[in-house]
Every structure is written in C-alpha cells, then in structure tokens.
Amino acid sequence: MGKVFIGFAMSDSMFPDECDCDRDKLSEEQVKQVMSSADEVVNACNRGHVPTLEILKGRHGIDLTKGIQEKPPKIKLAFQDQLIVCDVNLPRLEGRHEYTKEEIEGAKFRFGIWTVNTVGQPS
C-alpha cells in the first residue's frame, strides 16, 4: 500500500498524468480505519482550517489538528497512494474571508477516498 493523504480539497494536478483511479464513499469509522492501518498518513490541511478541524475532531473523532505543517505539502499521488477528501458543506463566502463560529459549528462533513490503481499509458 502507498501513502494516504488527507485534506479538504483535491485537484487534477495531484494525480499522475496517466492513471486509473477509483473513488469510494467512506464513513467516519472507515476514515479512522484507513488512517490507523496506513504505513504513512500525510496531513494536507493548512493552519487556516484549525477551527473546522476542531469541529471534525469533536463531532467525528478524526483528529487532523496534529501534524499540520507550517506550509501544507504539495500532493503528488503515485501508484497505490490514496487521497481522503473531507468534504465540508459550508455556505459560500461572499464579501468576507472567514466563516463565523456558528457557520463552522453547523458544518456537515462527507468523506471520499481516491485510490491510484495504475500509472502510465492506459491499456
């Protein structure tokens, strides 16, 4: 098994140019199970997400408050790597740069995992 990256967003640039991936939904228990069984977990969250991470920890028992790097790592997935995306449902920010405490406390979370199955030219 490769590395497990976890964060709040994904981008096409995280994936190899040519690859085949699977995506599955995860429950909070499955997220914890994947994280605990991984050889290496890379926290891709940034310090600006700490209030949301505190809600995630308190509500779902998923602690991403530890291991936050000064500058989030650049994710470049390889063969057998996985990316857990914590999708947070918050209102769109319009004309401001931060969420209120009430908005963060009302956040709803969903979890998905992307797995890189093959890398290289498709067959």
Whole domain around residue 59: which residue ranges?
4-119
* Amino acid in position 102: E
Checking if the pLDDT of 47 tops 90, the result is: no
CA atoms of 8 and 53, how far apart (whole Å): 10
121: confidence class by pLDDT, cuts 50, 70, 90? low
Mean pLDDT of 45-59: 88
User: Which value, in Å, is the radius of gyration of the alpha carbons in the chain?
Assistant: 15
Structural domain count, the chain: 1
CATH of the domain at 36: 3.40.50.11170
Task: For residue range 94-118, list pLDDT tens digits in order.
Answer: 887 778 888 888 889 999 999 999 8
Q: Which tokens is 47 given?
A: 């310090």
pTM: 0.87
Task: For residue range 69-97, list pLDDT tens digits in order.
Answer: 888 889 999 999 999 999 988 878 888 77
